[in-house]
Homo-oligomer: A and B are copies of this chain.
Amino acid sequence: MSTDFHHSGKSRVKRLPKRGFYDKETIYKILDEGIVCHISFILDNQPFIIPTSYARVDDAIYIHGAKTSRLLNIMDGRNKLCVSVTLLDSYVMARSAFHHSMNYHSAILFGTGEIIHSDDEKLIALKVFSDHLVPGRWEDARQPSEKELHATHVVKIIIDEASAKIRTGPPSDDEEDYGLDVWAGLLQFKTVLLDPVDDPRLKDGVNVPEYIQKFIKDKNS
A residues in contact (CB < 8 Å) with B: 10, 14-15, 35-36, 38, 40-42, 45-51, 53, 66, 68-70, 80-84, 86, 88, 90-91, 93-98, 100, 102, 104, 106, 108, 110, 126, 130, 133-134, 137-138, 140-145, 148, 152, 170-171, 173, 177-194, 196-203, 205-209, 212, 215-216
Contact = CB atoms under 8 A, between A and B. Distances in A.
One complex includes copies of this chain to the number of 2
B182 A189 contact: no
Contacts of A207: 183
Nearest to A83: B49
Contacts of A191: 189-192
Q: Lowest 7 CB-CB distances: which A-B pairs, in order?
A: A40-B40, A51-B86, A184-B199, A49-B84, A40-B47, A96-B142, A38-B38
* Chain A binding surface, main DSSP class: mixed
Given A184-B199, A191-B192, 11 more contacts: A10-B48, A36-B104, A41-B47, A51-B84, A93-B212, A100-B133, A180-B203, A187-B212, A189-B192, A190-B192, A191-B191
